[in-house]
Structure 1
Amino acid sequence: MAMAMACNIIHLLHFHPTPYRAFARTTLTTAFRIPSPFQNSLPKPISPPRSLSTTATFTWDDVLRVSQPQSISDSDDVTDLNGYFEKIKMCNRGSEMRFEFMPFVIENQIVGYIHNGFAENLRKFQKVFKFLPDNSNDGFHGGTVTLHPSLKTQEDRTRSVGEVVKILGEQQFPGIRNELYPVISSFGASPLFSLERAAAPYFGIKAYGIHMNGYVEKEGEKFLWIGKRSQEKSTFPGMLDHLVAGGLREILISCMQFNMVKCQPHGIACGENVVKECQEEAGIPKSISSRQVLKCFSCSAISVGAVSYMDIDGYRYKRDVLFCYDLKLPESFIPKNEGRRSRTSAQFSSGKVNYMLIRLKVESYRNGEVESFKLIPVAHVANVIRRTSIFKPNCCLVIIDFLFRHGYIRPENYGYLDLLQSLRSGDYS
């Protein structure tokens, strides 16, 4: 019976060996198993945006409504894992399309994968890209893409590929941010060049980021601070997000005379980046986020592991690793986005659950990262993840990981090990 009902995670694991393949034939349904008398009491669905750039239109009132426990079925609680599997699948789509991509190789290292169709845009730049015939690329077809042999230095490669990105522009790379990611074969390796962040998925390069769960404990109950992304964001505008998150990108200063890469060992370490993002995105001072200042393990951002995923969407191939951090915050702390000069105001709702809503009053032309914050019970955040698609997709993985580590998801819950394994479906190097 257990074999027959095992969760199908074949297309989550992307060809990684797993003992579950032998019996992974059916999927766990995500339908609510609700007795018919209670159908009318179900929360109304919240429609997610249809693309990366489509603005989400829900309100915090919608979020609170859908987060409420229904108390009408044993399956309709935080321990029902069906909805979590669906969110992990949203970050691990398209594995059957993997063979449509060619390896992107530099200095005999595979640094990415480029779709055969997208490669046609690059063939006209013969002084930048070279296309080599297929010599049995470990099951791939269509040959290999590399850079022209004349591009020997990191600076030359960055400049030349950057010119290609500039020429192809927003039509090919929506949401250009003028932020550079280091192109590396694995975490900690030396960068071979740097690439515009918006173009990274089209070259299939590995990307690394940090996500931090900011939580509060009140009278034995845990709450998570959740952010609502600015409507001005180029990706996932208006969707729910972590209190603090950021990519480990490269900052180029003065025509590439100095490089500072936000990952070890090339500059700013992950922990330092967390402290920096805490200040910028949520106004969390270093005195709270950094153990080096407080000398206190329990009141600083703590590294708790990582999640990974591999997602193919058309020509985009995302191979991401997110380093996870937890930060226990004081009850009195109120987040504010430092990206804007703003003043915060707090509102408290009536009832047993004490929600806190922080709205940012914009007083300058600068676009902040976050529109507002809300403090929500962890179990209610779990309901939002299970029932809706209004969280930025990769945030769901990090919060599900939080639910495991803080005891909300337990070994007694059916599908426990499958769900735990699927949080690390991507390349973990």
Structure 2
Amino acid sequence: MTLPCIAAARHFHFASHVPLVIGAQRFGWIRRRDAEHLLRWPEVFECSSLAVRIHPRFDHCAARTEALAPVVQALAAEGVITGWRDEQYAVRNAFADAPMAWIERAAARFFGTNTYAVHVNAYVPGRHAGVAPQLWIARRSVLKATDPGQLDNAVGGGIGNGYGVLETLAKECWEEAGLPPWMSRQARYGNTLHVLAEIPEGVQAEQIFIYDLALPAGCVPRNQDGEASGHWLAPVAQVMRAIERGHMTVDASLVSLDFLWRAGCITSADCEGLAALREPANE
């Protein structure tokens, strides 16, 4: 049976959304009911039952950014867009692409634009061959805008304006777990997962870069930015129970499952459907 987190990562109905189009390309997915809000700005959007198109008069990144900013601010003031972060995210279809526009991070889910994140499986290796590793698990602060109080990976965060993958990895390792740069540089790339899911804020279209970081015994992650209330070392069985019972966020569940599968702690039958998340969802 497919685990709830894997099903949630691809819970998306294309017919309930319209594409956000710039030029001739899709750059996001907007819920049909949310697209109705954009009818108030005909100077910015060309809206139809088939698509929401940013008006072609905005023909470069700076012009689109300037045109979208007051729309996002108005929708946030009305409570349509929630969780304001005062952080800019790029609108682009691949991480290496040049941005088509910049929008407030909270608006990325409203417009369903691609976002990018780094998650780290911090673990303690088994003491000898045949002994399973243990994973460091965090509990999110109850003050977090999303998934308050849920269990999480030891380290995880979105890639913001001006940061690359490795810069974000180092930044989040320190902020979320107190791990210094020399230690974060030992992290090894594990995999990339793609999420396309309907969520309360709109659409999560996210690419998650997964890294694994072996920590020595006695090294205890300590949160620095108030986003986690604590960390503890969990055996495989405890991690799996948390995932199965929905006590861990969807993203963190997927990242943990991917690590446990690659480490040989679980089989493909235990994480049915996970392999499909290594490729973007078909449209």
Are 1:325 and 2:211 counterparts? Answer: yes
Are 1:419 and 2:277 counterparts? Answer: no
Are 1:237 and 2:148 counterparts? Answer: yes
Question: Which residue of structure 1 aligns with residue 235 of structure 2?
Answer: 377
* 2:18–2:50 CA contact under 8 A, matched in 1: yes
Question: Which residue of structure 2 aligns with residue 272 of structure 1?
Answer: 167
Pairwise CA distance, 1:237: 0.8
Structure 1: stretches of 5+ with no match in the other structure? 1-27, 29-81, 134-141, 251-259, 263-267, 291-299, 340-367
Are 1:190 and 2:98 counterparts? Answer: yes
Pairwise CA distance, 1:91: 2.3
* 1:227–1:241 CA contact under 8 A, matched in 2: yes
Structure 2: stretches of 5+ with no match in the other structure? none
Deviation track 1:360-414 (CA, whole Å, cap 9, x = no partner) reads xxxxxxxx1111111111332122212x111111111111101111001236xx4
Moved over 6 A (4+): none
Question: Which residue of structure 2 aligns with residue 90 of structure 1?
Answer: 8
Amino acid aligned to 1:311: A
Pairwise CA distance, 1:315: 7.1
CA distance in 1, matches of 2:261, 2:193: 12
Count of aligned pairs between the two proteins: 279
Amino acid aligned to 2:20: F
CA distance in 1, matches of 2:14, 2:200: 11
Aligned identity (percent) is 33
CA distance in 2, matches of 1:425, 1:389: 24
* 2:22–2:56 CA contact under 8 A, matched in 1: no
Pairwise CA distance, 1:240: 0.6
Pairwise CA distance, 1:207: 1.2
* 1:118–1:315 CA contact under 8 A, matched in 2: no
CA distance in 1, matches of 2:190, 2:126: 22
Name the Cα RMSD after superposition: 2.1
Question: Which residue of structure 2 aligns with residue 344 of structure 1?
Answer: none
CA distance in 2, matches of 1:319, 1:288: 30
Question: Which residue of structure 1 aligns with residue 134 of structure 2?
Answer: 223
TM-score (norm 1): 0.61
Deviation track 1:97-155 (CA, whole Å, cap 9, x = no partner) reads 31122221113221012222211101111222122x5xxxxxxxx12212223323322
Amino acid aligned to 2:41: F
After superposition, the Cα gap between the structure-2 partners of 1:314 and 1:375, relative to the gap in structure 1 and judged at 3 Å, is closer
After superposition, the Cα gap between the structure-2 partners of 1:92 and 1:125, relative to the gap in structure 1 and judged at 3 Å, is same
Deviation track 1:270-315 (CA, whole Å, cap 9, x = no partner) reads 122211211111110112111xxxxxxxxx1101111112112467
Are 1:151 and 2:58 counterparts? Answer: yes
* 2:89–2:108 CA contact under 8 A, matched in 1: yes
CA distance in 2, matches of 1:394, 1:106: 28
Question: Alignment partner for residue 311 of structure 1, among 179, 182, 197?
Answer: 197
* 1:320–1:426 CA contact under 8 A, matched in 2: no
Pairwise CA distance, 1:186: 2.2
